[in-house]
Each structure stands twice: as C-alpha cells, then as structure tokens.
Amino acid sequence: MQPKIIIAIDGFSSCGKSTLARDLSRKMGYRYIDTGAMYRAVTHYFYMNRVDMASHSDMIAALEHIHIDFDYDHDTGTQITILNGQDVNRDIRSKDVSDRVSLVSAIKEVRHHLVRLQQKMGLKKGLIMDGRDIGTVVFPHAELKLFLTAEEETRVQRRFAELNIAGSTLTVKEVRENLLKRDYMDSHREESPLRKAEDAIVLDNTNLTTGEQLELAYKLAMKAASVSKEQGTVNS
C-alpha cells in the first residue's frame, strides 16, 4: 500500500491549478484544499464588512471572526467554500473580490493566519493543495511539487469562459487586465511572493487537455509516493 503524501500545486492565475487539484484528489482519494478560495473568502468578508486594511488591529480582530471550511457537492462534483456557515462560492468569484484579492493576499497578517490553518490541514497528509506559495512556504517539504503554467492568451480565454458561465459581463480586455495585474502583484508582493520552488516540476498545459494533464500528474504522484515508501523503508 502506497503511503499518503502531500501534493503542492502552484502557478499563475487561470493555469488550471484548481481543476487539476480537484481531479487528482478524486482519482487518488485525497482531500483537496483550494487556498485561492480561502483568500477570496477573507477578501469577501473584508469587503462586505468594510474592514480597514490599513489598521493592524482591525484586521486581526476581523480574522478572529472568519471561519472557513469546505463542503462537496456530489451532484456537480465541485467544492463549496463555506464562510461562517454560508455558501459563498458565487460571491468570492465576483469582480469586487477579484479586484481586491491580490491586495488582501499580500497582507502579512492574513497570510500568516491562513498558512497556519493550511499547515494544520496537512498534518495527516493525503492532501492536495493549490495556490501561490504552497511548495515554497506552506509545505516546503511536500513529496510532490508541481508548478503549472500556460501561455497568456490561453489563460485569458479560460478565465473569460469561466466568468461567462458564472454570468459575468466582463470583456476579454477587462479579463486580461485583471489577470496581468494579479500576476504582477502576486509575483512582486513582499510577503510570500509567487515563485517556483527549486524542486518543483514545471507542467505547461497550454496544449494539454484536462485528461492528459491529469494522467501526467497522476504518474508523477505515484512515483513520488513510491519514493516516499522506499525512503520510509530505508529509515525504518
């Protein structure tokens, strides 16, 4: 029997991180955590409750009232983000949240709070987590680290299609501007910037189907689990 491992998936916006993490978790029977949804949930709470992000005390106080959990919709096969007992899946994908999430994600207090929660979730392993700093900060010793990338236009069209389905009226130009702005902010923030871990495997999915990407990632995960088992045998 293969040991449970932690799989960290990082990459820029609209590279398909969540899709791969979700599909791989089903195939392996692992728990999936969408950290992007966690940051979006905090952003939504701050926005709706008019939290002053320039006030250290206001943010700390607000974070104490934020409880994030995940549920699973078996009918649609999607993960549901629960904020303080409420389904906020649709709310956290709004333009108001998208325009602010990179700013909120760069706040040290927010990152430290959520990283602690994420690391606690990984104590039992058997976990797949995607985000911006999973392989570098949250789980630097993860058995498998993937860094997803895709060409800019591919990412823009993916994001535009996703928003269209959700009923958004944003133009392709607006989607591109938002995407590039987030890329820049995520890569240049002082606290836990987006970067590839030195031991991460780069997976360019520009020309891959979701099925092809899944099979490739699954093979890499099985190999990582086998290596973990061998190392456990040697160390025992």
Q: What percent of the chain has pLDDT over 90?
A: 61
Spell out a b/e string for 117-154, using b for 16 or more CB atoms within 10 Å of the CB, else e.
Answer: ebeebbeebebbbbbbbbbbbbbeebbbbbbbbbeeeb
Fold assignment, 6-225: Rossmann fold (3.40.50)
pLDDT at 159 over 80: yes
Give pLDDT, residue 72: 77
Q: Does residue 235 register a pLDDT over 60? A: no
pLDDT at residue 140, as a whole number: 96
* SS3 state of residue 202: strand
Give the pLDDT confidence of 89-135 residue by residue, as tens digits: 999 988 899 889 988 988 889 999 999 999 999 998 999 999 889 99
pLDDT, tens only, 186-214 = 888 888 888 999 999 999 999 999 999 99
Beta-carbon contacts of 158 under 8 Å, excluding residues fewer than 6 positions away, are: 14, 16, 150
How far apart (Å, rounded) are the C-alpha atoms in residues 122 and 134? 11
- What confidence score (pLDDT) does residue 102 get? 84
pTM given for the model? 0.82
CA distance 216 to 210: 10
Distance (Å, whole) CA 211 – CA 159: 19
- What are 202's two structure tokens? 């780069």
pLDDT for 232 equals 67
Res. 184: pLDDT tops 70: yes
Question: Does residue 77 carry a pLDDT above 80?
Answer: no
Query: Residue 233 pLDDT > 70, yes or no?
Result: no
Average pLDDT over residues 130-159: 94
Separation of alpha carbons 198 and 24, rounded Å: 23
Q: Sign of the CA dihedral 78, 113, 203, 195?
A: positive
- Is residue 51 scored above 80 in pLDDT? yes
The residues spanned by each domain of the chain are 6-225
* Mean pLDDT value across residues 12-23: 90
Per-residue confidence (pLDDT) for residue 234, from 0 to 100: 46
Q: Which residue has the higher pLDDT, 126 or 163?
A: 126
